[in-house]
Chains A and B, each alone.
Chain A
Amino acid sequence: MNYRAVRAIYLFEMARTWRTVLQSIVSPVVSTSLYFVVFGAAIGSRINQVEGVSYGTFIVPGLIMLSVLTQSIANASFGIYFPKFTGTIYEILSAPISYVEIVLGYVGAAATKSIILGLIILATAGLFVPLHIHHPVWMLTFLVLTAVTFSLFGFVIGIWADGFEKLQMIPMLVVTPLTFLGGSFYSIDMLPPTWRTVALFNPVVYLISGFRWSFYEIADVSVAVSIGMTLAFLVICLAVIWWIFRTGYRLKN
């Protein structure tokens, strides 16, 4: 194992975060605060409670997930796409480093950023609404699992993308809608029965449901199913990455 290489990539990527701290950390915090103002205060004042918790409190796990999902994908996809775009990928490909180590470096850094971000948003939320986390260990488990899984997914997108448009396409057109429709701002029990069934096909529902359960012990679907779905997606991403490196897809001619 070339630990030094993993460390070099990891620190390089983290350095990029600190360099772009406004974009990486501050802007998601600002937009999350805006969500609180709009959804929590303005709309929340007209909704009393959802399943026993105030609306402002209810949306906290969903908001964290919303940011963690989108930022994991953005960080990881950009992290690997940019060296492809500038050509500096030559150095990674010619280094004595295995595919596992490359993924560990890039995905590890992307996931770390998202987790830090998730925790910052959690702290920010604490300023707006009272929070109580019933299962902190499970909360962290869900946070880490989601960050890692979607960073892997982002890595796949970054390799697949051969232009900035493609890099944005999946996050904008697929992930954001799925997240909004995944119960960030409502319980899927609030939907009409038909839409509730449709919602169950949305993988993000399971992530948010499990994460919300770790906070308030309320869930749309069972926790075991939530974990199962997250792990299944993780395995799919790993399989795709394994295939990418085995074939050299979009990396080696």
Chain B
Amino acid sequence: MSSIISVTNLSKTYGSGFKALKNVNLDIRRGEIFALLGPNGAGKTTLISIICGIANPSEGRVLVSGEDIKTSYRKARSLIGLVPQELHTDAFESVWATVSFSRGLFGRPKNPAHIEKVLKDLSLWDKKDNKIITLSGGMKRRVMIAKALSHEPQILFLDEPTAGVDVELRKGMWEVVRTLQQSGVTIILTTHYIEEAEEMADRIGIINKGEIVLVEDKATLMQKLGKKRLKLHLQGTVASLPESLSQYELDVCDGGATLVYDYDTKGDRTGITSLLSDLRNAGIRFNDLDTTQSSLEDIFVDLVRTS
């Protein structure tokens, strides 16, 4: 699949000397939903700000659909819709006026039918003449999405779209995002809700301390999620394992006091029954056992801790 955004060797050092991004390389595929995960201050918003033209990069290059964001900024930016993290809205404008303003700002001719569709899709139609200041937080968030969609972008950035949004509204937003993807829009969302990434994304990128530490298909990550781990706490210790147990690829931990077996819950056979029976035959006894399932959260926490 072709890249719609290509980030090469991107670095950003702020005036204070803080390095927000360190040599970031990232390709976003056309038509996908890409979730960028990372703890607070990891560089998610800085990365988005640079791609969208709000911050200047210190080094590196960004291409949006083949257009350089510096030399061909008009073409690059006209493809992008941005929903920033904070609720930045004009208090005294009406919903209709502010969304129409955004369309004009992006150089598109008037199209009331499109604005109407966007507002209806986001359940804002009955609020179209209301001043923004009178709307609830969740509605303001949707107004910002409407503004970003007003000029029919090919790429939509959603920076923490569901921060501070209640569960029902969050699900509603996921629905909107999925519909957008079906219409061919590429979506990049940042979040620190892992559940959101699991629910929505085709691919997941993890950023920490200004560096991309992992980019992977969600399916691949979910396979890792599908793995379970069985720990057997032995009565004594074993120095080495007999040949009859080699097929299980057991790890010997805690100086031989614990055996660790990874298995796939989605497989037809987990191998647990035969493992236990082979252990008994080999004369290895255990006091206790426990199983754990790794989650995306564990993977994330591990990666963030070690990076």
- Chain B binds chain A: yes
Q: A: which residues have CB within 8 A of B?
A: 2, 4-5, 7-9, 11-12, 15, 19, 86-88, 90-98, 248, 252-253
Closest to A92 in B: B105
Known: A95-B105, A95-B106, A96-B73. A90 touches B82 (CB 8 A): yes
- CA A234 to CA B75, docked complex, whole Å: 32
List A contacts of B53 (CB < 8 A): 93-94
9 chain-A/chain-B pairs, Cβ below 8 angstroms: A4-B105, A88-B90, A90-B82, A90-B88, A94-B82, A95-B77, A97-B105, A252-B56, A253-B49
Binds A, one of B96-104, B173-181, B208-216, B264-272: B96-104
Task: Say yes or no: B55 contacts A5, CB within 8 Å.
Answer: no
- CA A91 to CA B52, docked complex, whole Å: 10
Task: Say yes or no: A94 contacts B54, CB within 8 Å.
Answer: yes
Task: Say yes or no: B14 contacts A90, CB within 8 Å.
Answer: no
Query: Which of A2, A4, A86, A95 is the one whose CB lies under 8 Å from B88?
Result: A86
List B contacts of A15 (CB < 8 A): 93, 97
List B contacts of A98 (CB < 8 A): 74
Closest to B147 in A: A91
Closest to B16 in A: A253
Query: Which among B53, B56, B76, B82 has the greatest number of chain A C-beta atoms within 10 A?
Result: B53
Residue B283 CB within 8 A of the other chain: no
Residue B78 CB within 8 A of the other chain: yes
Query: Which of A4, A86, A90, A253 is the one whose CB lies under 8 Å from B104?
Result: A4
Q: What 7 additional pairs, Cβ within 8 angstroms, besides A15-B93, A98-B74?
A: A5-B104, A88-B90, A96-B73, A96-B76, A96-B107, A97-B105, A252-B54
A-contact bits for B20-60, CB 8 A (1 contact / 0 none): 00000000000000000000000000000100111110000
List A contacts of B76 (CB < 8 A): 96
Task: Say yes or no: B78 contacts A88, CB within 8 Å.
Answer: no
Tell me the smallest distance from the CB of A54 to a CB of chain B, in Å: 44
Known: A86-B88, A253-B56. A96 touches B97 (CB 8 A): no
Query: Which among A11, A94, A253 has the greatest number of chain B C-beta atoms within 10 A?
Result: A94
Task: Say yes or no: B105 contacts A9, CB within 8 Å.
Answer: yes
- CA A16 to CA B189, docked complex, whole Å: 33
B-side interface residues, number (CB < 8 Å): 35
Task: Say yes or no: A12 contacts B92, CB within 8 Å.
Answer: no
Tell me the smallest distance from the CB of B80 to a CB of chain A, in Å: 7
Known: A19-B92, A91-B147. A96 touches B54 (CB 8 A): no
- CA A252 to CA B50, docked complex, whole Å: 10
Known: A93-B53, A94-B53, A253-B14. A87 touches B105 (CB 8 A): no
Task: Say yes or no: B109 contacts A4, CB within 8 Å.
Answer: yes
Known: A2-B107, A5-B107, A88-B88. A94 touches B74 (CB 8 A): no
Known: A4-B108, A15-B97, A88-B90. A253 touches B55 (CB 8 A): yes
List B contacts of A92 (CB < 8 A): 105
Tell me the smallest distance from the CB of B180 to a CB of chain A, in Å: 18
Task: Say yes or no: A5 contacts B105, CB within 8 Å.
Answer: yes
Query: Which of B52, B93, B104 is the one whose CB lies under 8 Å from A94?
Result: B52
Task: Say yes or no: A96 contacts B56, CB within 8 Å.
Answer: no
Scan residues 59-80 of chain B and give those whose CB is less than 8 A from a CB of chain A.
73-78, 80
- CA A98 to CA B104, docked complex, whole Å: 14
List B contacts of A86 (CB < 8 A): 88-91
- CA A82 to CA B108, docked complex, whole Å: 25
Query: Which among A86, A88, A96, A252 has the greatest number of chain B C-beta atoms within 10 A?
Result: A96
- CA A92 to CA B92, docked complex, whole Å: 18
